[in-house]
């Protein structure tokens, strides 16, 4: 029969991956989460935004970046003239840590293969890492984000762009312009 389109193939693989993570017990976060949050957006995105882990709203709704920090991220993306749906949005950890604590190194390591599968399926050109925790998961070292934001790093042939987490901007409103400029830069790198 007719070969399935590449888009349909990607959607099917992401759906399969979603089923896998809903059953995942590799770390202990499954015990307290409501549901795992795979991510959402364009399966053919050139740019992927990667945060830390779902928070309370994300855990409840099953979608990434839909709470206060997510609304800020969405507003800044749309202020560039682009739509959130044009990109893919996910997290290092697919499950919410209790009381929104920072995921442990083991929790991030255990979950990283799922992100790698998403990268294989979606094949983005640019990864925009939101905050020091996501940066640390990729670079395997401590990252001082105020010093290193704006850096472009080559990671396994992809361009990795480091910036603030939108939750940091909620606590430090003066950083909003910088996050906005960084998002614009990440989009420029992708096209």
97 is a site residue for ligand URA (CB under 6 A): no
Quick one: DSSP state of residue 53? -
Q: Which stretch binds ligand URA (CB under 6 A): 4-12, 64-72, 74-82, 149-157?
A: 64-72
Q: What is the layout of strands, in order, in the sheet containing 47-51?
A: 40-41, 88-91, 47-51, 126-130, 158-163, 152-155
- Of the two residues 72 and 121, which places its CB atom closer to ligand URA in the complex? 72
Q: Which backbone phi and psi does 84 adopt, to 5 degrees?
A: -55, -40
Closest residue to ligand URA: CB criterion: 51
Q: Which stretch binds ligand URA (CB under 6 A): 20-28, 50-58, 103-111, 135-143?
A: 50-58
- C-alpha–C-alpha distance, residues 46 and 41, integer Å: 11
Residue 132's CB is within 10 A of a number of other CB atoms, namely: 22
- Of the two residues 59 and 187, which places its CB atom closer to ligand URA in the complex? 59
By CB under 6 A, the residues from 143 to 182 that bind ligand URA are 167
Between 68 and 87, how does the x/- string for binding to ligand URA read (CB under 6 A)?
Answer: -xx-----------------
- For ligand URA, the binding residue among 64, 97, 103, 124 (CB under 6 A) is 64
- For ligand URA, the binding residue among 41, 43, 54, 103 (CB under 6 A) is 54
Tell the smallest beta-carbon distance from residue 178 to ligand URA (Å). 18
| Residues in CB range of 128: below 8 A, 6 or more apart | 47, 48, 49, 50, 161, 163, 182, 183, 186
- Of the two residues 126 and 134, which places its CB atom closer to ligand URA in the complex? 134
- Of the two residues 119 and 169, which places its CB atom closer to ligand URA in the complex? 169
Q: Tokens representing 143? A: 């990252």
Q: Which backbone phi and psi does 164 adopt, to 5 degrees?
A: -70, 155
36 is a site residue for ligand URA (CB under 6 A): no
Residue whose C-alpha is closest to residue 95's, from 49, 58, 66? 58
- C-alpha–C-alpha distance, residues 154 and 161, integer Å: 9
Q: Most distant CA pair in the chain: distance in Å?
A: 57
Binding footprint of ligand URA on the chain (CB under 6 A):
51-55, 58, 64-65, 67, 69-70, 91, 167
């Amino acid at each position: 029969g007719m070969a399935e389109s590449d888009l349909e193939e990607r959607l099917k693989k992401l759906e399969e991956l979603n089923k896998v993570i809903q059953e995942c017990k590799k770390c202990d976060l499954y015990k307290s989460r409501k549901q795992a949050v795979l991510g959402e957006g364009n399966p053919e995105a050139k740019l992927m935004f990667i945060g830390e882990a779902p928070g309370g709203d994300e855990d409840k709704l099953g979608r990434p970046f839909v709470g206060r920090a997510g609304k800020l991220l969405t507003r800044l993306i749309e202020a560039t003239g682009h739509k959130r749906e044009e990109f893919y949005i996910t997290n290092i950890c697919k499950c919410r840590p209790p009381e929104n604590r920072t995921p442990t190194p083991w929790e991030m390591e255990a979950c990283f293969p799922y992100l790698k599968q998403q990268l294989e399926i979606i094949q983005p050109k640019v990864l925009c890492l939101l905050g020091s925790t996501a940066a640390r998961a990729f670079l395997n070292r401590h990252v001082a984000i105020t010093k290193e934001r704006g850096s472009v790093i080559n990671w396994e042939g992809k361009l990795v762009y480091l910036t603030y987490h939108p939750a940091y901007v909620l606590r430090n409103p003066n950083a909003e312009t910088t996050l906005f400029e960084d998002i614009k830069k990440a989009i420029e790198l992708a096209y």
